[in-house]
Structure 1
Amino acid sequence: MGLKSWVVPQDKIFFELFEEQAEIVCEAADLLQNIFTDYTDIPEKYRQMKDLEHRGDAMAHRAYEELNRTFITPIEPEEISRLTTALDDVIDFIDSGTNMLLIYEIEQPDEFMIGFASVIRQAAEEIRTGVAGLRTLNDPETIKGCCIEINRLENQADEILSKALQNLFKTKDPVIIIKLKDIYEHFEIATDKCEDVADVFASILIRHT
């Protein structure tokens, strides 16, 4: 039976939790862009990011709890679990990448960090649009479009990483190489996690439309 056939109230909780997770993804991406636009008071801004990460964890834990006690779910339990995890992972890697700025005492962001932040923010918006479409699946083409765009953005992040590493390895300072490589790779993995969300969208579309 397709998703559109389920209208019982208890089904709504999963979509509400997905939507809340997607909002937190967007808030974290917005904050990341703000950090690089106005690179001041980083400890306070990271505190705000950590608060978002905690909120994301709380939403994920609630989703898992609901899944454990719900007999009939609107989509497959595995799909709920995968989407919950993928959304939480996006938030976690935005958070951990931001934390690296403090750990490594980065004085100023470079063009590559700013590029990653832009890609992550665009992917976050696609995630929010895609998640909103899951409630009814009335417009699968919109969700497919989100998947395509997220995949394109992930490829763009791969290109940014390649250019960043190529530029980085021109330096002779091994400490700088270690620090920046770690930061770049964390933000690139955040885009990989966005692509994981898109993969779950695609799986749901195949099964339920």
Structure 2
Amino acid sequence: MTTPSLKLNLTKPGDAAPKLSLSLDKGERFRVRLAWDGDTDIDLHALVAVNTGGGAKVSDFGDILSTYNVQRTIRGQATGTLPLNADKTFSVHGGALVHSPDATDGLAAGDDEWVSIQPDRLAPPAAGVIEIPLVAMIHPQGSGRSFRTVKNARVVVENALGKELLNVSLSDQFGEFVGVQMGSIMVEASGSSFVGVGVGFNNDFNQVLGHFS
């Protein structure tokens, strides 16, 4: 029979009662930053997918954070599902993921596009875990450009403390491609984390989306 371990109360008479304290952790946050130089148009895309063991899968247009999914009229036809805010940002899942205004060139100082992610604002799925694939792609696909032809194209993923989880040169490391899935944010009951992927694509965004649907 196992003897129970001994444990003493280490409080002495007259010790001050412990003070009440609150957890100041508001939950993990992530920021994805994309910058490049020149007149090429590069877009950041993020998907709120569910992974039950067979890969990340998206089932609704409301899960696709992409400039292609913003409400707009093209040649007289309404398209897209995401409303554009007054500051030109757009979001999904009530602001859990927010996208910067769409940059059509890399002529701005600093970051050209960014996506902010607050995983704790996402409702957990009935089964599996939430996976948020992060993709950067040149627009338009089929233009003959690849990341090799873009100067200083770089993606940085940071956490809430500003720690870099990824810092990759698309121009150098993925030069032969027009699109790259840099990684995914994994949202599990135990917390959220970034997982690097580094898969290149040479087709359009709808075909890339087909990998996740």
TM-score, structure 1 normalization: 0.27
Q: Relative contact order (alpha carbons < 8 A, sep ≥ 6): 1 or 2 greater?
A: 1
Greater strand share, structure number? 2
Greater helix share, structure number? 1
Please tell me whether Structure 1 or Structure 2 has the larger radius of gyration of its CA atoms: 2
TM-score, structure 2 normalization: 0.27
